[in-house]
Amino acid sequence: MFISREAKLLYSNSNNNINFEQFNFYNYSRDAIYDILSQYNINQNSEIIVPNYICNTVVDTINVFTNNVKFYTINEKLKFDLDEIKSILNENTKMIFFVDYFGVETSVNEKLIKFLKSKNILILKDSAHSFLTLMKNDFRTSYKYDFLVSSIYKAVPLYAGAVSLGNIRSRVNFINNNIIQKRKIINKMKQVFCFFGISIFNRDIEKLSIINDNYTFESGTNGYDEYKNKLSSIDFKNIIINRDQLSLDFYRYLEEYSIFTKDEIIKSSLQVFPIWCSSKANRDEILKIMKQECVDAFTWATFNKLSINEYLWSHIILLPLDKKVLTIMKEKIKNV
Ligand SMILES: Cc1ncc(COP(=O)(O)O)c(C=O)c1O
């Protein structure tokens, strides 16, 4: 396999010796967020601050505890404005979410952390998209917040699984077998649809060295240890190398439209490759072609009343990191 200079550098930095004992485990990141909100007594009097480019799952989970949610702006480069954040806090603000978009870690500087701490505002780093990036950086540089949550199943096809760091107890602390079975069935159905060419889903997105299909727990058992064993056996180095190589290939071709800089891409392990489309019509045209080609390109967050940053939603498209997608971009897409 050809590995570029940049990818080699990443390889030498990546470490597979993560000690999973330090984590709480959950089926999904939303379970972790739920536990954090309930254990820190978030209620209708508490205000929670979140970015205005966010998936409903997060807001829905917060709404179980409080409807008092305030949004701060995310710009075209998926960054926030420090002064805006400072200006919207008040005495009821109890927690703020910072989101790592699509694998790139959102940097929250020490000054802001100190400022938020001085106001007794808890910081939750939502790293749901950046599990591979955290693995690459050993979680060390990433965990300087009150809480960090990350979804494993978004990074590797394990059907379920998320972790958290911070002073919390996991209510579940196991991976529910029923959830895994359900997702397995959905995945099989996707493959069948794909086979008949009616797919709206990606096919074989990455040749990962993981086999899910013998992955069952006896029903009713606590799958926690089995899951951790499974996780320890995954060749994360290899996955990260392939991903990072592909990300750089995408960047070379799509530099002009890339939301992230080369430097950000090199420091991260992207979940998908986000590009900026000049118009909603172009975005929709790309989505249409990808769908015809059986590729699951998508917009994020799915549009509805909660994903209120319509400007970002209508210009950003997320491309799965697959060679085939790059070929389609080169051969079939006229305008981005
Ligand atoms: C930024 C972000 N945070 C949290 C979540 C929730 O993750 P999970 O599906 O693991 O509950 C999602 C996705 O739904 C997300 O996009």
What is the arithmetic mean of pLDDT over 67-75?
A: 96
pLDDT at 27: 86
The model's confidence at residue 333, banded by pLDDT at 50, 70 and 90, is very high
What is the arithmetic mean of pLDDT over 322-330?
A: 95
- How many angstroms does the Cα of residue 56 sit away from the middle of ligand 1? 9
- How many angstroms does the Cα of residue 28 sit away from the middle of ligand 1? 8
Tens of pLDDT, residues 204-252: 333 333 333 344 444 445 567 777 777 888 888 889 999 999 999 999 9
pLDDT at 196: 65
Amino acid in the structure at residue 124? L
pLDDT at 276: 98
In the chain, the N- to C-terminal Cα span, in Å, equals: 30
Element (H, E) at 180: helix 177-195
pLDDT at 319: 96
Please tell me which of 74-78, 134-138, 166-170, 174-178 the model is most confident about, judged by mean pLDDT.
74-78
Tens of pLDDT, residues 37-66: 999 999 999 999 999 999 999 999 999 999
E strands along the chain, which residues? 24-26, 47-51, 69-72, 93-99, 122-126, 147-151, 162-166, 273-276, 316-319
Beta carbons within 8 Å of 280's beta carbon, 6+ residues apart: 314, 315
Element (H, E) at 116: helix 110-118
Residue nearest to atom 14 of ligand 1 (CA): 57
CA distance 316 to 216: 37
Closest ligand 1 atom, residue 153 Cα: 10
What is the arithmetic mean of pLDDT over 173-194?
A: 68
The mean pLDDT of the chain is: 83
What is the arithmetic mean of pLDDT over 158-180?
A: 76
- How many angstroms does the Cα of residue 53 sit away from the middle of ligand 1? 12
CB-defined site of ligand 1, < 6 Å:
28-30, 55, 57-58, 99, 126, 128-129, 151, 162
- Percent of the residues in the chain that have a pLDDT greater than 90, as a whole number: 58
- How many angstroms does the Cα of residue 30 sit away from the middle of ligand 1? 6
Q: What domains appear along the chain, each with residue ranges and CATH number?
A: 236-332 (3.90.1150.10)
- How many angstroms does the Cα of residue 55 sit away from the middle of ligand 1? 7
CA distance 321 to 296: 11
Backbone angles phi, psi at 72, to 5 degrees: -110, 155
Q: Which of 29, 163, 183, 300 should be mutated for ligand 1, with most atoms under 8 A from CB?
A: 29
Residue nearest to atom 2 of ligand 1 (CA): 128
- How many angstroms does the Cα of residue 129 sit away from the middle of ligand 1? 7
Listed range (45-49, 79-83, 248-252, 299-303) with the worst mean pLDDT: 299-303
- Which has the higher per-residue pLDDT, 228 or 328? 328
Residue nearest to atom 3 of ligand 1 (CA): 128
Instruction: Provide the whole-model pTM.
Output: 0.86
